[in-house]
Structure 1
Amino acid sequence: MTSPVPDEWHIYRGSGEPHDGIDRLPPPPPWRAFDAYGYRGTGTASRGAVYQVTPEIVQTVNAALYLRRPLLVTGPPGSGKSSLAYQVAHELRLGAVLNWPITSRSTLRDGLYAYDALGRLQDANLSRHEAPEVGRYLQLGPLGTALLPSPVPRVLLIDEIDKSDPDLPNDLLNVFEEGQFVIPELARLAETEASVRVYDTTGDTVVIDRGRVRARAFPFTVLTSNGERAFPPAFLRRCLRLDLPAPNAEQLLRIVQAHLGPEAVHQGAELIRSFVDRRETQSLSTDQLLNALFLFLRDRSDGEPFGSPELKDQMLHTVLRRLD
């Protein structure tokens, strides 16, 4: 059976015969570009630089900054919940976002620090001397790093908090309220080692005094939720809340232009209209539209839009599959 996809589309041919097709792989979409350190979305099209805000977002973010309160952001996939943290960090020059992705197994300690006691014991047995320095086996997590003393707030993203164990939101309350925590493994050494150098979540080393980490500036904390569960009132009372609906047609045009330029808005007008219509009855996210536009609007060497109608139909089914 003959494939309707043009030959130039095929990097992978499925023939099983080795070839150099990977040399023809074009640059990635701006939102999927990684730098030498593995960070995504660098350069002028960074994740924060292209984020599209609304007056409600601006008001709520400012309230969270003034009040030093976490921001609980709820909305459907693709509404920009996680990207908001990157936009604030980008605009206010607050450095790299500290990202804590939540799973059903996540615990408060995972966010604060990790201690490899077994590794330390094994190294001590191999060397047949006293146990190595504890700091070499202890690393702060994203939340622990965000609470390190800093003249300006760090930006912490606690992503998909609604996927957590039911106890985690309540476990976070004391940390949110006090802005500090104790590392028992270091506190026990306070009499003999008042200060211990450990690693933070970025791989840098920091000094912990008497096992206590105390924030000087409360981190700007964004917790995201897809709205799949309710949270206890005590947790909600300590957060400011922001509900993000899916972008409307006008916002979608601004998002497409920010990521792919004005030509994408013009050349992809039909696809954008089709996406808006389909979204009325199907669950679709904004990044699916961006993926489709990136594929279809690549230019051939002769300047014509990349791809045939057959390719577009085939790839629409692949890229724009409904999420529900």
Structure 2
Amino acid sequence: MPLTRIYRGTDEPHHGLDALPAPPPWRSFDGGPPLSTPVDEEGCAAPSAHRAGTFRPTPETVELVNAALYLRRPLLVTGPPGSGKSSLPYAVARELGLGPVLRWNVTSRSTLRDGLYQYDPLSRLYAANQATGQAGSPGAGLDEHLRLGPLGTALLPYARPRVLLIDEIDKGDLDLPNDLLHVLEDGQYEIDELVRAAPQQPEAQVLTADGRGRAPVRGGRVRCRAFPFTVLTSNAEREFPAAFLRRCVVLELRRPEGSELESIVKAHLPGTDAELVDEILRVFLARREEGELATDQLLNAIYLTSRPELTDVADRAALAAQVMPYLSRGQEDDVF
């Protein structure tokens, strides 16, 4: 008997997450007491309703998202530009009503601590001196100078999982995957400053990354209850350690082809003239045979050439080609 699909890929919000069974014993977490999952003002919609609503998952994507949900494991998503890697978590959050997506954009300078929390000791010292004329006690006023990062917020003890996007993890430092491995494996971390201050300040109210207020942190330790649905995207710029890969569910997205591209265009640009879509799509597919292009370039070209202000453009195909330059260096393009 097949598994019950918690995520169905239909873009129809539902409460299917309630049917998710208990996690495997080795992926059970007991942080607490439980916090309520924030919900957008519009209901169970992600911050970017358009981005979520226009994502078109393949059957394989639906199956592997459900595998990650059942196993409480991160989902490592690879694929070419424009394949929908970073849109996937928004679609899952919208359909399952999991509130705003927490997003961490990784750069070459990113460290694990950037994702967990930020602490400003200078502002705390200044505030203490302003208030008392001298540095305060070790535990005084820490709440005001700490802010949880996206990863740190996702691991709070929410009753229902948060959705976390760690975007372009392969751009990070070589040690970042292994550093992430331990936090995501254990579902917990410590805030060093609060651990040291625990005798004077057993509980702190710390700002969260989503701007939804403060969350209690006791003894400087944070442990999740519901493991966050975590999507890590990669452009396959380098290989990951085997220890990291075996703890992830791995999904490789491929380039969308003809009918899939048509579906994506209809979702983003409903009502566009079918003949125009067909014409620009042929240009896109022909150019993609010669070099790397992304789906959003196709959308740009169709939107631009469909504008009524451009009805006097003699050659729409040439204009479309001009706004679809190749993404890889060294590829010749005789359009310009």
TM bracket (short chain): 0.7 to 0.9
The structure 1 residue matched to 2:194, chosen from 180, 186, 194, is 186
Aligned partner of 2:166 in structure 1 is 158
Aligned pairs for 1:8-47 (under 5 A) are: 42=48, 46-47=50-51
Aligned partner of 2:314 in structure 1 is 309
Aligned partner of 2:88 in structure 1 is 84
Q: Quote how far apart the aligned CAs of 1:306 are.
A: 4.0
Residues 1:240 and 2:244 aligned together: no
Unmatched segments (≥5 aa) in structure 1:
1-34
Give the whole-Å Cα distance in 2 for the aligned partners of 1:299 and 1:219: 45
Give the whole-Å Cα distance in 2 for the aligned partners of 1:56 and 1:315: 32
Aligned partner of 2:98 in structure 1 is 94
* Residues 76 and 246 in structure 1, CA contact (< 8 A), matched pair in contact too: yes
Give the whole-Å Cα distance in 1 for the aligned partners of 2:72 and 2:312: 50
Give the whole-Å Cα distance in 2 for the aligned partners of 1:235 and 1:146: 19
Q: Normalising by structure 2, what TM-score?
A: 0.79
Aligned partner of 1:206 in structure 2 is 215
Give the whole-Å Cα distance in 1 for the aligned partners of 2:273 and 2:130: 61
Aligned pairs for 1:42-121 (under 5 A) are: 42=48, 46-121=50-125
Aligned partner of 2:16 in structure 1 is none
Moved more, 232-241 or 189-198: 189-198
Name the CA shift for 1:129/1:312 in 2 (closer, same or farther; >3 Å): farther
Name the CA shift for 1:264/1:156 in 2 (closer, same or farther; >3 Å): farther
* Residues 55 and 264 in structure 2, CA contact (< 8 A), matched pair in contact too: yes
Q: Normalising by structure 1, what TM-score?
A: 0.82
Q: Percent identity?
A: 54
Aligned partner of 2:325 in structure 1 is 321
Give the whole-Å Cα distance in 2 for the aligned partners of 1:129 and 1:307: 72
Aligned partner of 2:300 in structure 1 is 291
Give the whole-Å Cα distance in 1 for the aligned partners of 2:183 and 2:194: 18
Runs of 4+ in 1 over 6 A off after TM superposition: none
Give the whole-Å Cα distance in 2 for the aligned partners of 1:68 and 1:212: 21
The letter of the residue matching 1:316 is A
* Residues 75 and 251 in structure 2, CA contact (< 8 A), matched pair in contact too: yes
**Matched position secondary structure for 2:215:** strand
The structure 2 residue matched to 1:256, chosen from 242, 245, 265, is 265
Q: Quote how far apart the aligned CAs of 1:265 are.
A: 3.9
The letter of the residue matching 1:199 is L
Give the whole-Å Cα distance in 2 for the aligned partners of 1:183 and 1:41: 28
The letter of the residue matching 2:202 is A
Unmatched segments (≥5 aa) in structure 2:
1-40, 329-336
**Matched position secondary structure for 1:181:** strand
Give the whole-Å Cα distance in 2 for the aligned partners of 1:40 and 1:310: 39
Aligned pairs for 1:119-158 (under 5 A) are: 119-127=123-131, 128-131=133-136, 133-158=141-166
Q: Quote how far apart the aligned CAs of 1:119 are.
A: 1.4
Give the whole-Å Cα distance in 1 for the aligned partners of 2:254 and 2:289: 13
Give the whole-Å Cα distance in 2 for the aligned partners of 1:307 and 1:224: 42
The letter of the residue matching 1:64 is A
Q: Quote how far apart the aligned CAs of 1:268 are.
A: 2.0
Give the whole-Å Cα distance in 1 for the aligned partners of 2:306 and 2:220: 55
The letter of the residue matching 2:230 is T
**Matched position secondary structure for 1:143:** helix
Give the whole-Å Cα distance in 2 for the aligned partners of 1:306 and 1:148: 54
Name the CA shift for 1:86/1:40 in 2 (closer, same or farther; >3 Å): closer
* Residues 289 and 320 in structure 1, CA contact (< 8 A), matched pair in contact too: yes
Q: Quote how far apart the aligned CAs of 1:207 are.
A: 1.1
**Matched position secondary structure for 2:80:** coil
CA-to-aligned-CA distance 1:138-157 (integer Å, 9 cap, x gap) = 00000000001111110000
Q: Quote how far apart the aligned CAs of 1:50 are.
A: 1.1
Q: Quote how far apart the aligned CAs of 1:266 are.
A: 3.8
